[in-house]
Structure 1
Amino acid sequence: MPRADFRFAFRKRVRYAEIDAQAVLFNSRYLEYFDIGAVEYWRAVGMYQKMTLAGGPEFHVAKAEVQYKAAILLDEEVDICVRCARVGRSSMTFLFEIHGAGRDDLRATGEEVQVHVAEVRGAPAPVPDWAVQLFETYERRALR
């Protein structure tokens, strides 16, 4: 999938605390970067503000994958690209790519499935219609 398929990107600089002994991004940090990208994507869509309110929707990560393509180095800026690929009855699938800032040099890809739950320890529940509309509206608007 080309970078052009992602309408949202968040730029982040690699910090010293995030690298390993070889001065490259430590493998567990890729999921952390995906989480940062997801939060900023949700903010751009208008969903994050609703999630932080008492009684707002609650999502849990049910699946997370990373595919490493090329090293990410200390002090490098990267773009964390995010898009909502699918909305199911009770889950949403998000795709991620990490590229060098402003470039189309793929460093990693990822996928997360997040499940909407009725409460923090509750069973899966349908994704609210208004939430689906927020993501669909954002993706359509970004196409223009």
Structure 2
Amino acid sequence: MIEKRARPAYPRVRAIPTRWADNDIYGHVNNAAYYGFFDTAVNCFLIEEAGLDIQGGRVIGLVVETGCNYFAALAYPETVEAGVRVARIGNSSVTYQIGLFREGEDEPAAQGHFVHVYVDRDTRRPVSLPDKMRQALEAIHA
């Protein structure tokens, strides 16, 4: 059984409105949309706090692993609150944990993870995390 983490376990939380297109034929947010919420929450943190330059930076993050556990359905027009924390920081890789919550709730509707490997934009070879990024990641390391 997966250990559920309540909202206080996540040092950064971002509100993400669901879209009409997120719902599937069964009337709830489709499982694939959850990965979009994960990506949005983590990349907003990286851009806003860790200095990631998605347009012209030399370092980019490539997702090499993902996973999600679902506990309760979400549906449009709810606002999802995505909590982010870092579980592991390596030389060139980072494991993020993300909790998705209904607005104002402490119990997760879903929780997942993904792993970024940071590489040189041109060569796609792994590189060490930039200092500013490492400092921001350490600030939310669990």
Using structure 2 for the length normalisation, give the TM-score. Answer: 0.86
Q: Does 1:108 align with 2:110?
A: yes
Runs of 4+ in 1 over 6 A off after TM superposition: none
Residue equivalent to 2:51 = 47
C-alpha distance in 1, partners of 2:104/2:83?
A: 11
C-alpha distance in 2, partners of 1:108/1:68?
A: 4
Match of 2:15 among 11, 17, 20: 11
Residue equivalent to 2:76 = 74
Normalized per residue, which structure has more helix?
A: 1
On the 8 A contact 2:6/2:107 being kept in 1, the answer is no
Alignment-mate amino acid for residue 28 of structure 1: A
May I ask how many residue pairs the two structures share in their alignment? 137
Judge which range, 27-36 or 7-16, deviates more. Answer: 7-16
Alignment-mate amino acid for residue 139 of structure 1: I
Match of 2:6 among 2, 7, 19: 2
Deviation at 1:20, TM superposition (A): 0.3
C-alpha distance in 2, partners of 1:35/1:13?
A: 14
Deviation at 1:131, TM superposition (A): 1.9
Q: Does 1:125 align with 2:127?
A: yes
Alignment-mate amino acid for residue 125 of structure 1: V
Q: Which secondary structure does the structure 2 equivalent of 1:106 belong to?
A: coil
C-alpha distance in 2, partners of 1:120/1:30?
A: 29
Match of 1:99 among 87, 98, 101: 101
Judge which range, 120-129 or 67-76, deviates more. Answer: 120-129
Q: Deviations over 1:98-136 (max 9, x none)?
A: 011111131101101000112345222222233212322
Structure of greater relative contact order (alpha carbons < 8 Å, 6+ residues apart):
2
| Percent identity between the two aligned chains | 26
Provide the aligned C-alpha RMSD in A.
Answer: 1.8
Stretches of structure 1 that go unaligned for 5 or more consecutive residues are: none
C-alpha distance in 1, partners of 2:62/2:133?
A: 15
Q: For the structure 1 residues 24 and 53, does the alpha-carbon distance in structure 2 shift closer, same or farther, using more than 3 Å as the test?
A: closer
Using structure 1 for the length normalisation, give the TM-score. Answer: 0.85
